[in-house]
Homo-oligomer: A and B are copies of this chain.
């Protein structure tokens, strides 16, 4: 009889990734940063956009090497890259421009921005891969796909570890039926595998993974020994970030879609949809200290937006009050500020009504100084609001998709929207320069380190743009 194939190597591999296959880790140590490059960027990245204010910017010392300040220019095509000069998102012929753009972001491209730590750009993409690139040269150091699911977050980075959060937008049929019966369901349940995957920072090797029933689209947050993450089944988990062991788990109910928890002074601030609620939890125990909402909050809005926290104020926004105008569905975007300690409402401001957008239903706020900068997905407008009073200072109306938090750096405000990177004067909202990257942006805040803005976009590219490349078009300059 025919000889059977040789037996498998002992305890072969720990997650379903065939050794040497297309999802296997690739590690190119020769591309790692050396010398002074290894201090470029932050020394760690512990929550979405680097801090609870959501300002993804890192200054560089005066005596740093020249390129730190002059900036670098490169483009890296991730696994599902779509050529940047293509006017239309992939699949527009079948799904239409707007929906195809949302699908490309959620399944092929980068939903959020990158982290820059120790001379390396870390990105996680909905193409199911995580990447480490040399921040100066744009060369690949490692890539890996330990889980066959979308990676929607902004990678967290500590001294030795990179943390990914796996989860996508889909619901399985059992939860479609559950939603029809009870008005609530678990997003991501039985839709591939969800949860946290911890990688060795230098090599990308998998250290541990912790599964969750619901999707883990939101970016986790780290404080000290603990990693906290929220899921599509309305639960919040605290893990020991060295082992992945569970420390506590609470069920708040509803779904967290993309609302990444912010950590501030021993507390976690995050929001859920269905029912729409903003929560303040004690980070030690998970106990709810207070919760609030925004009147008329609709659809997935509250579960999409990551609250920003600064100067004792929590800022949240969502779409509200669905209404059909001339037969077309519209929503009103509303921003509300809460006292971070008590949850008392400080002010509530409507930023206007507009057509119902697909997918993400809000704008991620940035707090800088005593101002909140936030975009509206329904009016295509960014506004600057006084942090104390909500009084509007200015509005800037330029880009169709205005969902991501701006980034403040050395006296300018940078916004990634549509196919370009824009620079505004934070005091007036006047545009002072732009650079056309091509493709489209998801909910991507530019990550700025010294003279370079790093942008990960929906066409699955990571692009490094020197701030000096942003210029005013002739028309605008006059």
Contacts and interface: CB of A to CB of B under 8 A. Distances in A.
Given A81-B18, A172-B170, A469-B4, A193 B107 contact: yes
B2 A94 contact: no
A421 interface: no
A16 B90 contact: yes
Contact of A176 (B5, B94, B176, B359): B176
Nearest to A459: B16
A82 to B, nearest CB: 4
Contact of A103 (B17, B99, B176, B193): B193
A2 B70 contact: yes
Contacts of A4: 73, 469
Interface stretch (A184-192, A198-206, A332-340, A409-417): A184-192
A460 interface: yes
A61 interface: no
Interface size class of A (residues with CB under 8 A): 35 or more
A2 B83 contact: no
A95 B8 contact: no
A21 B176 contact: no
A80 B17 contact: yes
Nearest to A169: B172
Contacts of A187: 173
Residue among A8, A138, A195 with most chain B CB within 10 A: A8
Given A8-B83, A79-B18, A190 B103 contact: yes
Contacts of A300: 173
A317 interface: no
A187 B172 CA distance: 9
Nearest to A89: B16
Given A1-B466, A211-B95, A77 B21 contact: yes
A79 B21 contact: yes
Contacts of A129: 22
B90 A15 contact: yes
Contact of A23 (B80, B83, B102, B180): B80
A358 interface: yes
B193 A90 contact: yes
B168 A176 contact: no
Nearest to A168: B170
B148 A16 contact: no
Interface string A61-104: 00000000011111101111111110000110111000100111
The 4 A-B pairs at the shortest CB distance, nearest first, are namely A170-B170, A94-B211, A107-B192, A180-B180
